[in-house]
Amino acid sequence: MASIVFEGAEKRYPDGSTAIHHLDLEILDGEFLVLVGPSGCGKSTALRMIAGLEDITGGYLRIGGDIANDLAPRDRDVAMVFQSYALYPHMSVAENIGFGLSARGVTKKEIAEKVQKTAALLELETYLKRKPGQLSGGQRQRVAMGRALVREPNAFLMDEPLSNLDARLRGQMRAEIARLQKMTGITTVYVTHDQIEAMTMGDRVAVMRGGVLQQLGAPRTLYDAPDNLFVAGFIGTPSMNFLKADIVAGSERLFAEVGTFRLPLDADLLETRPGLAGYAGKSVTLGIRPEALAPAGTAQPDEASIQGQIAFVEDFGATQLVHLDIESAAVEDVTDEDAELALSGHRLRVSLPGGLPLASGEAVAVSVNAAQVHFFDPASEQAIRA
């Protein structure tokens, strides 16, 4: 096992394009770190730099404290699990798992022992004589993991390993991979575009965009305290609502004003976000997660609630996602398609308990939990805190 450290690492191509911009990132020994972001953000390139499949054109990569920039892939003692499984169809499960050991000159007896031990860990003992074509997608993925695990490497590198599985199997394999990582304690770097995988599997999550690290932290930290508009919109399902608001001064306190809606900024809120005081008379972007909204009764003129009309409802059983057309033209038009932040028209997403009698066309009002509202600078897109 080993730590993996990027020190100002860059990846530039001969045509001048840059996939990774000055990446500083430490992956701790024994940690499960997830690299997440939209397509083209550089997460797979970073993983391939660790594996030695992409040259590092600037900065350094350290594995176990040693500079690994020029090490051949086979000398890095890392094992990679690919999206495609890359199993040999003519070989049995046992032969696929032990193939890497055979290539390294390990004795047949030792290979058999290691394969049996690994198969037991992955619950594959009864499938050792089968060919990959006789296995389900989840079983093939476990074989691919076994081939990496049997080597007892310093680190696992996983590049979207679950993307070929259906939703039910993905859920099962998420738990399986997390369990195996905890059991083995092997440093693991996991790449995905699926923020649900990132939030449920990683000890820490690194969010990337355009080759730049946006935020690194525990999953709960990214959800509760996103550093910028991109992270706020990318992390969380359903995604966060964004509204343009003006910070106005009342007789005794500040308010965030969105059309006819006024959100009071009380002393407790300003204590946790003192930087807001400097935005009096200016505009900000409010970030409101769907679950931070609650029914406020029927729609009546009331500055303490947001008025709207239900466009449609998605019923998930325990919860309902209500798409609400609000009266004020206040929804921020965030158009970065990769960030998946864009909202159509003036529509607000509201997460409500299942079973509430809601229908399209119905006028409703929702209240906002001020403590759960996020504030961003419209120009820099950074969170407003200190």
**Span 24-59, pLDDT tens digits:** 999 999 999 999 999 999 999 999 999 999 999 999
Residue 208, strand partner residues: 213
Query: Is the Cβ–Cβ distance between 123 and 173 less than 8 Å?
Result: no
Which span out of 124-138, 154-168, 333-347 was modeled with the highest average pLDDT? Answer: 124-138
The dihedral sign for the CA sequence 173, 174, 180, 184:
positive
Q: In the structure encoding, which two tokens stand for residue 3, read together?
A: 């730590």
- Compute the distance between CA of residue 233 and CA of residue 314 in angstroms, rounded to an integer: 20
The stretch 196-206 carries a mean pLDDT of 94
Question: Residue 328 above 60 pLDDT?
Answer: no
- What the chain holds in terms of domains, given with CATH numbers, is 4-233 (3.40.50.300), 237-376 (2.40.50.140)
Q: In the structure encoding, which two tokens stand for residue 203, read together?
A: 């000890």
The stretch 241-259 carries a mean pLDDT of 90
Considering just the CA atoms, what is the radius of gyration of the chain in Å? Answer: 25
Query: Is the Cβ–Cβ distance between 264 and 253 less than 8 Å?
Result: yes
Closest CA to 376 of 232, 224, 219: 232
